[in-house]
Amino acid sequence: MSNWVEWLWEEDQPAMPKLKKLFIEDCPKLSSLPKGLLHHATSLELLQIGNCETIKYVENLQSVKDLRIFNNSNLHKISNVPNISFIRISECPNLKILENLKRFHRMELSDILMETLPEYLITTMPEKLTIWCKNELLVKITCQGIGGSEWKKFEHIHVVRALGSLLRDPGFKPACLR
């Protein structure tokens, strides 16, 4: 549905009350989620949004427990997902705001191009965090150690696992490991 621009589903049109899983992928022109989805899909537990480049906000998903968003360079904000248990954010480099999520179980963050960890990690409260990043960022986190600017972004999270990218630069020699 590469030409889908607007999903018309108004608040006053009840529909899909038993919808549990929704996958929205490869809709680069879709600009937002409809209000009807937010108000009437009260059984929606899993929402996956991928390759939907014009969606800037994902908000007010009251029943969603599992949220997966990937390949959206314009996504700016994820907010008010009170029942979240798991969130996966992959290749969303302009995501700046992650708010109104209660303490939740697991978060996966993946972007092999990011040079620093996102600031929103400071206020995000998962019990477990997995980070996939480029090797240089992984080394930066390690070299700074406890108290470093990157470390402070996730020091409040109980379990953190960080993995470097598989792409290796044979000439890369981290300064702190020389």
Q: Could you report the per-residue pLDDT of 2-53, keeping only the tens digit for each?
A: 767 677 666 666 667 788 999 999 999 998 887 777 777 888 999 999 999 9
Mean pLDDT of 67-79: 96
C-alpha 130/C-alpha 107 separation (Å) is 6
Q: Could you report the per-residue pLDDT of 154-164, keeping only the tens digit for each?
A: 999 999 998 88
Contact (Cβ atoms closer than 8 angstroms) between residue 126 and residue 102: no
* pTM for this predicted structure: 0.86
Dump the DSSP string for 48-61.
EEES-TT--EEE--
Rg of the chain over Cα atoms, rounded to whole angstroms, equals: 18
Q: Considering the domain delimited by 1-102, tell me its CATH architecture.
A: Alpha-Beta Horseshoe (3.80)
Domain locations along the chain? 1-102, 104-178
